[in-house]
Structure 1
Amino acid sequence: MFRAFRSAVEDAVEAALTALDLPTDDLGVEEPPEDVPATLASSVAFRLAGEVGAAPPSVAADIAAEIDIDSSEYIERVDTQGPYVNFYVSEAYYADTLSAGREATHGALPSTGKSVVVEHTSANPTGPVHVGRARNPIFGDAVARVLEFAGNDVETHYYVNDAGRQVAVFTWAYETFEESDLPEPERDRADYDLVRYYRRGNEFLESADEVDAEAAEAEISEIMQGLEAGEEATYDRVAAVVDQVLGGMRESLGRLPAEFDRFVKESKFLRNGDADEVVRRLKASDHAVYEEDAWQLDLSSFGLEKNLVFLRSDDTTLYTTRDLAYHEWKFANYDEAVTILGEDHKLQAEQLEATLEVLGNDTEALRQTFYSWVNLPEGGMSTREGTGVDLDDLLDESIRRAREEVESRLDSRIRDDELTEDDVDRIARQVGIGAVRYDIVSKQPTKGITFEWDRALDFEAQSAPYVQYVHARCCGIESEAADAGIDASADASVLDTDAERALLADIARFPAVIEQAADDLEPHVVATFAREFAETFNTFYRECSVLNADDPEVAAARLGAVQASRHTIANALDVIGIEAPDSM
């Protein structure tokens, strides 16, 4: 309803400006000042005062006088305060909000007819996912969910680096070292097993004498050359390592959950000749130069000082070269391509976009967004060196701590057999993993995060448990109301207290929040909305009892508002990848 109301306000302001023969390029529709109880306001009088030659309040009054409030059933009245033209919603707005909110799909936007591919995570398949990189799958998965909820046909990709030097080192190490040379794996899973070879290989390369190091480098180079040459035997050798590690990584990511529609291997673009074709076209471009024994692209005309190397002296391609082929494949198969990248890839992303333009692509279809790192108070993390904290460890610890908190809060219900051991396990998992996801996705992606247990698992503060508890509370109210024989209604006319109207206003705003998050690729605005909605609902819960309402019609309508609230909070949580517990 909020989106429809906003559209009606924009139309009304535009019509008024047209009637006054004033420009309509900027309508200034926005949230009103805090002391104005309106739903939306227009600040266009600020912009037009100089052109009209009158004070902003006078201009605002002229605009308000031209507003046709009969043009929309959702505009109840219009007034002015200083330079603002303020718009107030009608009873029909609240009635339609309550009806829409009671639909299980509340918040989902109509189909755009657009196909969108979201590429995220794409960590090198050399070992378990570690905490430092956990923001990519959590943020990326939330972006994909937001875009899908906004009406797009979304496909998620994990772009697998199976043709680079690190994978060649990994393959060489796996074939060189014996199991007896390695420490025990930290977990009984392929990625934890094989990462030991990768770490051992890097240790060897860093400490070996010159002769042994040169021999190892020759074998590593042979693997890379074999990949470039399309040798099936080399692909099979690399796949024997990569596929096992990916299987383990998928298990970790699945716990978040972050699942993928496709795992696209970069070797695909070596094998089908697309990377070679990209090299041929880049060599023929006016930007190509051969310097320092490598083919490079001079991108200074795009404002980039550093050249892009796209072919080494030994005729092997680079990651970005193969990535260019991948992006052209995306452009051919999807309407829009979204990529989630770490902040250390900004230059590479700028070079990629510029080079795609050199190749003749329309990069309007490309959207790249960046995230900063996740740290723990314990310090930094590195897969190669075997230090730091793995994602599995973080999730296990979060579930363990959540279970302790849940057991302390539900002690009497556990003793009285109201909750089984399976119930406690379920709630601990939902709360523990939800705490990790919410703490990460709720922050602006460009801001660094230091994950802190006490904050993430705080049931009383800005955390997943605080929001999840609202859904559980809604379920509890509905269950008790059913036992009391109360049937829900959509009669919003009897919901006239400030707490009730505030709740309906937030329910109405949810689809617009989804729209904003999708437009800006910022799922944290959904997380913020969920927290604010939880605060609004808790005020309603304290002040507006369903079971103890004086009037049966009010009780029924309040129950309808609880149903709408449950759908709103469940869908908001789902959009950011967090489960909504039925009980807590």
Structure 2
Amino acid sequence: MFLPFREEVRAALTAALDELGYETTDLGIEEPPEGVDAVLASSVAFRLASEAGAPPPKVAAKLCEAVDLADAEYVGRVETQGPYVNFLPSEAYFGGTLRAGQQDSFGSLAPTGDRVVVEHTSANPTGPVHVGRARNPIIGDAVANLLEYAGNDVERHYYVNDAGRQMAVFTWAYETFDESDLPEPERDRIEYDLVRYYRKGNDYLESADAADVAEAEAEIEAIMQGLEAGDEEAYARVSEVVEQVLSGMRACLERLPAEFDEFVRETRFMRDGSTDDLVERLKALDCAVYEEDAWQLDLSEYGIEKNLVFLRSDDTSLYTTRDLAHHEWKFANYDRAVTVLGEDHKLQAEQLRTTLDILGNDTSKLENVIYSYVNLPEGKMSTRRGTGVDLDDLLDEAIDRARDEVTSRLDTRIRDDDLDEADVERIAHQVGIGAVRYDIVSKQPTKAITFEWDRALDFEAQSAPYVQYVHARCCGILDEARAAGIEADASVDIGVLDTPEERDLLRVVARFPAVVEAAAEDLEPHQIATYTREFAEAFNAFYRECSVLNAEGDVQQGRLALVAAARHTIANALDVLGVAAPESM
């Protein structure tokens, strides 16, 4: 009910301002300070004080008198507090919230009609997914979920770099070295098997005799030229490696889970002529120059000091060249294009957007989410020589630690001691992987973070287990009531839910659709994580003070309905974040 409440506030404020003869486009509508009973407040009196020739509190009082709530259903009354005009809820606001919260889809917004493509992860298929870049699939998946909850038709894409030098090196190494030349794989999955060839190839190119390296480089160059020329044999050779490595990377990402609707290959835009067409258009631009044996765009006029190289002297294109064609394809097929990128791609993203704009594209369709990297306490990690920590290692460790925590709590009877071994394993996976996702997605993307186990897996602190347990507790209450033949009834007189804790919980439930709306507009899923912690605090206060199963009559049925609304709210909030909502813990 928060969203229609806000619309009623806007309408009432606008009408009051018109009546008083004030003109302003900023109504100053905001959430009131903690402890204020209002749902929304307006600070517009600050902006009108000069025009009115009166201090803000007097302006607020005059405005409050002019507000007409005759047509309002969810705004109950309006009052002032100093310079603020506060809008308080009606009983219909609370009753409507209780009823709306009974829907499984609570929090989902009306369809926008927009087709949105979210591209994320897109790690080069050269080996296992590295934990340092784990923030990309976790944030990317949450952004896609969030946009879907906000009413958009969302597709999740992984852009596969199958045309660059790295893949040519990988293909050459795969075809050159024997199993006997390689160390044992670190894990029994295909990308761990094949990455040994890539690492062996890089070592060879750095340490072999100059003549041998020159021969190898010639073969690598031939593969790259073959791809550029659309040679089917070269494409097939590279694809054999790419497909195998991607299958393993997909298996890793599915553990998060982060799944994709389409893996869009870079070579697609070479094979269909898009890249060649783009190169010709780039050459014709006024800012195109041929310098240092390469075609480049001089973007200094647009505030970018580093030139964009788009064609080498051997007529091979670069990653960004092909990505330009990729983005023009996105613009032709989608209403919005969201890309999740690491901070080391900021310059490339600026060059790409500027170039697309110069080419006449509508770059308002393009939105980027930039993130900093995840570190473990040991420090920064590197993938090239296999010295870092893979995402699989982090997830394994998370599950092991969660299993130990759950088992320990069962042993001390802090948690449900009727769980069998399969339940413990299920919860360990849900809590362990949920802890990783939640801890990473709950931070602002632009802030570098260090992942810490004790914080992520703390059942009592504001972490994933803390929030997940709210959902498990809701399920336990509803299951016990159902077993006793007691049903929730959201149609009860809302007046029976009149304690401060019940009303506070209803207020938090009511805000969820608006939190989805704001987080989607800002592309910031961490706003949802912040909301889940506020929600957990409100629910736990309700749980402590308001017995559900020991209540009677309408109070019991109403409280059960409130628990059901809470369960749908927290389940969907966790779903946006990609975190499992356990039914028992």
Q: TM-score range by the shorter chain?
A: over 0.9
TM-score normalised by length of structure 1: 0.98
SS in 2 for 1:107: coil
Shift of 1:486: 2.4
Give the superposed CA RMSD: 1.4
Compared with structure 1, are the counterparts of its residues 2 and 536 closer, same or farther at alpha carbon in structure 2 (3 Å cutoff)?
same
CA contact (8 A) 2:410 2:417 kept: no
2:520 to 518, 521, 524: 518
Shift of 1:289: 1.0
2:547 to 545, 548, 561: 545
Shift of 1:150: 0.7
SS in 2 for 1:54: coil
1:529 to 531, 536, 545: 531
Shift of 1:544: 0.3
Q: Which amino acid aligns with 1:543?
A: E
1:211 is aligned to 2:217: no
Matches within 5 A, 1:10-409: 10-409=10-409
SS in 2 for 1:486: coil
Structure 2, unaligned stretches of length 5 or more? none
The farther-off stretch of 57-66 and 465-474 is 57-66
CA distance in 2, matches of 1:193, 1:270: 29
Please name the residue that 1:509 is paired with. 511
Shift of 1:561: 0.3
Shift of 1:417: 8.0
Shift of 1:210: 2.2
Shift of 1:482: 2.2
The share of aligned pairs that are identical, in percent, is: 72
2:501 to 499, 502, 506: 499
Shift of 1:396: 0.8
Please name the residue that 1:447 is paired with. 447
CA distance in 2, matches of 1:368, 1:416: 44
Matches within 5 A, 1:570-581: 570-581=571-582
CA distance in 2, matches of 1:475, 1:521: 30
Q: Which amino acid aligns with 1:521?
A: L
CA distance in 1, matches of 2:342, 2:536: 31
SS in 2 for 1:76: strand
Q: Deviations over 1:47-74 (max 9, x none)?
A: 1111222211111112111111113111
Shift of 1:263: 0.2
SS in 2 for 1:71: coil
SS in 2 for 1:116: strand
CA contact (8 A) 1:379 1:388 kept: no
CA distance in 1, matches of 2:579, 2:120: 18
Q: Which amino acid aligns with 2:186?
A: E
Shift of 1:297: 0.7
CA distance in 2, matches of 1:210, 1:35: 74
CA distance in 2, matches of 1:35, 1:510: 19
Q: Which amino acid aligns with 2:514?
A: A
CA distance in 1, matches of 2:287, 2:230: 28
Shift of 1:126: 0.2
Compared with structure 1, are the counterparts of its residues 415 and 46 closer, same or farther at alpha carbon in structure 2 (3 Å cutoff)?
closer
CA distance in 2, matches of 1:234, 1:128: 24
TM-score normalised by length of structure 2: 0.98
CA contact (8 A) 1:43 1:84 kept: yes
Shift of 1:307: 1.1
Shift of 1:12: 1.1
Q: Deviations over 1:91-126 (max 9, x none)?
A: 000000000001111100010011000000000000
Q: Which amino acid aligns with 1:540?
A: F
CA contact (8 A) 1:115 1:336 kept: yes
Q: Which amino acid aligns with 1:188?
A: D
Q: Deviations over 1:24-67 (max 9, x none)?
A: 31110001133422111110111111122221111111211111
CA distance in 1, matches of 2:302, 2:330: 23
CA distance in 2, matches of 1:52, 1:378: 60
CA distance in 1, matches of 2:220, 2:13: 67
Structure 1, unaligned stretches of length 5 or more? none
CA contact (8 A) 1:470 1:538 kept: yes
CA distance in 2, matches of 1:46, 1:299: 44
Compared with structure 1, are the counterparts of its residues 354 and 417 closer, same or farther at alpha carbon in structure 2 (3 Å cutoff)?
closer
Please name the residue that 1:466 is paired with. 466
CA distance in 2, matches of 1:72, 1:574: 33
Q: Which amino acid aligns with 2:94?
A: Y
CA distance in 2, matches of 1:540, 1:127: 49
